[in-house]
């Protein structure tokens, strides 16, 4: 099996895991949306009802992630020579934008409620069922966060990693709702302002999560180079490959789960084409073993020892 076939096989397996993980999240979000909205109406809890309506937006995110994962799983073809990995990156970026919108919405509503409370407005006391459903929602969402995060690490999927943080943000949002509901139930009317106050605090935390998620996605879309540590590892591998006299013009970037490495290597000018090709294959193999899925573009040049420009550099 050659290098490209190995990448294609790994990508297919990873894509199946990604789609399965996304479907689990989608099914859970639909169930939670129905449960929260029903409970909010029956249990006279506007907080749980609002959280249920917010959960509907999660299904939109689920559909988005699933669509992007399916698209990225189509792999390489005549039009997408480097595969469709950027679709996953785009999904991560769009999820971060959705998180910003959700956070700002929570913050605005929280400020409105705090202002209303300062004006003397009181909220209706919610029923116990609202508290129970909120606890169930937190447990489910936190479980989805850990499950999706583990799958994201296994598959090196930026979309699943972002999706995991979306679950965590939902769990935190529901925790804020729970605190408000509990305060309204057990501390009296004047403490019902806890709901919007905690919602404002959680919205700030969600904004931080959105930034942590969105920044790497933006960097990848802008084709920022790989971290210096990985570039140093690539340089060490190339330098340590038998037959390589020097290298230069090292360029790196990410394409979804793939790392793309462009490099010029210098070898003995008297080597045959077959020998030079074996050197490039050795580099590809070693980079794949150390870094995972890598697409390499290696340009071979003759080495002239008396040329002061021919040094091992990036």
pLDDT-derived band at 264, boundaries 50, 70, 90: very high
Q: What is the pLDDT of residues 6-40, one digit of tens each?
A: 545 555 666 677 778 878 888 888 888 888 878 87
What is the pTM for the complete model shown?
Answer: 0.61
Architecture of domain 228-303: 2-Layer Sandwich (3.30)
Compute the average pLDDT of residues 46-54. Answer: 67
Distance CA 243, CA 286 (A): 14
Looking at residue 172, its pLDDT comes to 81
Residues sharing a CB contact under 8 Å with residue 193, sequence separation 6 or more, in sequence order: 113, 114, 117
Mean of pLDDT over the chain: 77
Distance CA 17, CA 51 (A): 29
Compute the average pLDDT of residues 266-277. Answer: 89
Measured CA to CA in angstroms, residue 214 lies from 88, 155, 199, 269, 283 at distances of: 12, 19, 22, 46, 33
Looking at residue 308, its pLDDT comes to 44
Looking at residue 104, its pLDDT comes to 85
Distance CA 62, CA 257 (A): 20
What are the extents of the domains in the chain? 3-221, 228-303
Asked if the 3-221 domain carries CATH number 1.20.1510.10, the reply is: yes
């Amino acid at each position: 099996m050659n290098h490209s076939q190995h990448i294609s096989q790994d990508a297919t397996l990873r894509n199946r895991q990604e789609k399965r993980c996304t479907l689990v999240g989608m099914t859970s979000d639909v169930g939670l949306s129905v449960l929260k909205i029903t409970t909010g109406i029956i249990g006279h809890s506007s907080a749980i009802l609002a959280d249920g309506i917010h959960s509907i937006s999660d299904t939109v995110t689920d559909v988005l992630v699933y669509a992007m994962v399916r698209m990225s799983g189509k792999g390489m073809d005549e039009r997408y020579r480097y595969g469709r990995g950027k679709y996953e990156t785009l999904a991560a970026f769009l999820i971060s934008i959705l998180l910003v919108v959700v956070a700002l919405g929570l913050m605005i509503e929280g400020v409105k409620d705090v202002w209303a409370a300062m004006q003397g407005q009181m909220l209706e006391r919610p029923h116990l069922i609202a508290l129970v459903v909120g606890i169930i929602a937190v447990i489910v969402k936190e479980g989805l966060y850990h499950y999706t995060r583990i799958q994201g690490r296994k598959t090196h999927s930026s979309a699943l990693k972002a999706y995991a943080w979306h679950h965590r943000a939902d769990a935190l949002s529901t925790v804020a709702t729970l605190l408000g509901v509990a305060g309204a139930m057990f501390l009296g009317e004047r403490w019902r302002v806890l709901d919007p106050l905690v919602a404002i605090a959680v919205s700030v935390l969600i904004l931080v999560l959105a930034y942590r998620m969105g920044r790497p996605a933006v960097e990848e879309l802008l084709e920022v180079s790989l971290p210096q540590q990985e570039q140093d590892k690539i340089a060490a591998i190339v330098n340590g490959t038998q037959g390589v006299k020097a290298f230069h013009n090292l360029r790196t970037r990410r394409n979804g789960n793939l790392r793309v490495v462009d490099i010029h290597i210098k070898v003995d000018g008297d080597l045959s084409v077959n020998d030079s090709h074996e050197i490039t294959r050795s580099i590809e193999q070693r980079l794949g073993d150390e870094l995972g899925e890598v697409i390499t573009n290696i340009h071979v040049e003759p080495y002239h020892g008396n040329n002061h420009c021919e040094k091992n550099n990036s």
